[in-house]
Structures are given as C-alpha cells and as structure tokens.
Amino acid sequence: MAKTKSENKPKKNTKSIKKVKKTSKGLGDTVEKVFKATGVDRVAKWVLGEDCGCEERKETLNKLFPYRQPKCLLEEEYNYLDNYFTERRNQVNAEIQRELVKINNRVFSENFRATSCSSCFLNSIHNKLEKIYNKYKDEK
C-alpha cells in the first residue's frame, strides 16, 4: 500500500521553546544585547579570540552604570500602603503625602519632595507605589 503525502513528511516538533528575556542589571547587559543582535559579538570573538574581554567590559559597565531596581517594601510600609490604597481618598493631606514620599524615596532611591500640586504627586509617586503595592498584594 502506498503512503500518502502526509505520511511521508517528517513530523514537526510541536513543542515551542519559550524564550526568557533577562532583565538588564546595567549598561553592560544592554550593550551585550545590542552586540549580539547586530553580530558584533561574533566579529569580536573572531578577531580577538574567545577571550575578547567582553565579560569584563560588561561587568565594569554594569558597576559604573547600574539600572535602578526598587528595594523591597518593609512590612510597616506595606501595611501603610495597604491602608492607603484600600481607603480610596479624594484628597491627600500633607501628612499622608509626606509618608508616601518617604516610602517612595527609600524604595526607589529617589529624592522626591512633597509638593502642593496634587496632580504632580499622583503622577510621580502614587502610580509607582500602587504598582509595587499591587505586586506584593498579588504575591500574598
């Protein structure tokens, strides 16, 4: 009995490979990604050999130009944010604003100052703190 066309074809692997994107710690990781995408890394290894100094350059650039990573919330900070975000307010008084600024500055390594402009406050701090609060809340 003759085989049909579909029986002659080799079966394709239907499993897909999931690529995990590694977040860059600093400028060195970003430069490495660009070099890999453009093929510069292969040229460097071809010209300079397998030990072309790329790894040392990457580590040096990461140390000199790190990307900011938020620090973990402390338990009392999480509890304060939990109270703040569960009690939706129309206004934020100066005392609440100062506490939120204090949490924001520690977690995001910033030096933001409280202002009388509520829209500036909401745009710059409220949204960032709400994102990090929701991440913690989702993990619980």
- Where are the chain's structural domains? 24-67, 75-139
135: pLDDT strictly greater than 80: yes
Given this model, what pLDDT does residue 4 score?
Answer: 56
Count of all residues that appear for the chain in the document:
140
The 3-class SS string of 19-77 reads: CCCCCCCEHHHHHHHHHHHHCHHHHHHHHHCCCCCHHHHHHHHHHHCECCCCCCCCHHH
pLDDT of residue 18: 46
Question: What is the b/e burial string over 29-50, where b = at least 16 CB atoms within 10 angstroms of the residue's CB?
Answer: bbbbeebeeeeebeeeeeeeee
Give mean pLDDT, residues 123-138.
Answer: 86
Q: What is the pLDDT of residue 16?
A: 45
Predicted confidence band of residue 118 (pLDDT cuts 50, 70, 90) = low
Residue 57 confidence (pLDDT): 87
Residue 103: the pLDDT is 94
Express each pLDDT in 8-52 by its tens digit: 555 555 454 445 467 788 888 899 999 989 988 888 888 888 888
Q: What is the pLDDT of residue 68?
A: 77
pLDDT tens by residue, 75-116: 999 999 999 999 877 777 888 888 999 999 999 888 887 666
Give the Cα separation of 6 and 32 in Å (integer): 44
How many helices (H) and strands (E) are present in the chain, helices listed first? 8, 0
For 72, residues 6+ apart whose C-beta sits below 8 A from its C-beta are: 107
Residue 7 has pLDDT above 70, yes or no: no
**What three-state secondary structure class fits 101?**
helix
Distance of alpha carbon 109 from alpha carbon 131, whole angstroms:
16
Q: Using an 8 Å Cβ cutoff, are 73 and 39 in contact?
A: no
